[in-house]
Structure 1
Amino acid sequence: MHAIFAGVDEHELVGELEAVGYDVTVVPDVANRPALEEAGVHDADLFVLTDVGQATSIPVAKDLNEDVRVVCYTDDSLPEFVSGQEVLSVDPALLDSATVAEELAA
């Protein structure tokens, strides 16, 4: 299972995803089209975003891989333009990173 992670990992979700079997590629800067392609979005199973300031990366990721599952792990609201996309939004205050990783791997 391959996951792409973009944003700050303040809740240590990358480590939890790796613990449940994901091979995680972290986008070091802005998750734009070239960065997502370099991270392997074409074959990714999961795209995790923690920075809603980079929400434009969601439709880009879905355009490059319509089957990629998108999860926003943040307490911020997603912009309205993303509302038409299939995005699972999870608030870290409600579910810890270990639980989220386990559910995503199931």
Structure 2
Amino acid sequence: MKAIVAGADPEGIGEELEAQGVEVARVDSPVFADALGEAGIEDADLFVLTDLDEGISVTLAKEANEDVRAVCYGSGDLPESVGGVVDLVVDPSLLDAETVAEELVADA
């Protein structure tokens, strides 16, 4: 399984996915289409956005790979325009990164 983690990742979801055996590529904010392409979005199974202010990147990821599972794991508000595109939104104050990573891998 391959994942792209976009944003600062203060909760450590990237490390937890790696602990589950997932190949993780990272993209820093701001998230642009070319950076997603360089990270391998076309072949990714999972796109995890940790900076919800970068919500438009979910649309960019889905445009490059319509089958990628888009997950937002961060605090704050997601832009309304992205609500219908994202597959899952998880607030880190409700579930820790280890639990989210385990569930994402189990659902794959």
Q: Please classify the TM superposition score into its range, dividing by the shorter chain length.
A: over 0.9
Q: Could you list the runs of 5+ residues in structure 1 that have no partner in the other structure?
A: none
Instruction: Using structure 1 for the length normalisation, give the TM-score.
Output: 0.95
In the alignment, the residues of structure 2 paired with residue 85 and residue 55 of structure 1 have an alpha-carbon distance, to the nearest angstrom, of 10
Alpha-carbon deviations, 1:47-68, whole Å to 9, x = none?
A: 0001112111111110110000
Identity score, percent: 54
- Three-state SS of the structure 1 residue aligned to 2:95 is coil
Which aligned runs of 4 or more in structure 1 are off by greater than 2 angstroms? none
1:52 aligns with 2:52: yes
**In structure 2, C-alpha distance between the alignment counterparts of 1:25 and 1:5, rounded to whole Å:** 6
- Equivalent in the alignment of 1:101: 101
Please report the RMSD computed on the Cα atoms of aligned residues, expressed in angstroms.
1.0
TM-score by length of 2: 0.93
Unpaired runs of at least 5, structure 2: none
User: CA shift at 1:76, angstroms?
Assistant: 1.1
